[in-house]
Structure 1
Amino acid sequence: MKQFLIFLSNKNSIGITNDLVSSHKAYLRKLKKHGHLKMCGPFEDNDKAFFIYSSESIGDAASLLLNDPIMQENCFSSYEIHEFSEANISTGQL
């Protein structure tokens, strides 16, 4: 599996309801259970957020992202997806 960093920005808080947040959290729990979600969270300015997904391709990562209820409701107007390699001792990068 490949690793992808997804950066969300330009949050639109209008329309973010408790039900939507609950659906978003349920979706993230499902991704975590299936091994796709490695880490996620908002930035302190609360206008941006990130995900780290594990998937077969950038297209699969985009599909995972765009099926998130919070993205389907256009709560962030822009996103970037970047494949990355984790630096660690076994790869000699640390």
Structure 2
Amino acid sequence: MKNIKSLNKELVESHVEHLKELKRQGKLVLCGPFTDYPGGMVVFLAEDLAEATNIAQSDPFIASGCKSFEIRTIEPANDENNYLLEK
């Protein structure tokens, strides 16, 4: 997410509730503000691009127009897939 407009306390609280709901659904992986760059990141699980877009657009930061977003997909590299060595 990139900053567009300033945030207020109520909007931040709504964003946190959105994150908590993603966690309850088992979709939240990681989130937080960047420490070296304006904006932040929310990493979540989605079945497809349509679901990812819906999740992002339902975030109060995005819905309010205070932040913009960019969706990226990642293929996890881990022990289970030998860190994609033989792909």
| TM-score band w.r.t. shorter chain | 0.7 to 0.9
Stretches of structure 1 lacking an aligned partner (at least 5 in a row): 1-7
Aligned to 2:4: 12
From 57, 62, 67, the equivalent of 1:66 is: 57
Letter of the 2:4 counterpart: N
Runs of 5+ in structure 2 lacking a partner?
none
TM-score (norm 1): 0.80
Instruction: Name whichever structure is richer in strand by fraction.
Output: 1
Question: Superposition pairs for residues 13-28 of structure 1, below 5 Å?
Answer: 13-14=5-6, 16-28=7-19
Distance (whole Å) between structure 1 residues aligned to residue 78 and residue 36 of structure 2: 29
Kept in 1: contact 2:5–2:65 (CA 8 A): no
TM-score, length basis structure 2: 0.86
1:88 pairs, out of 78, 82, 85, with 78
Relative contact order, CA 8 A, sep 6+: which one is greater? 1
- More helix per residue: 2
Q: Specify which of 43, 53, 61 is matched with residue 34 of structure 2.
A: 43
What is the RMSD computed on CA atoms of the aligned residues?
A: 1.5
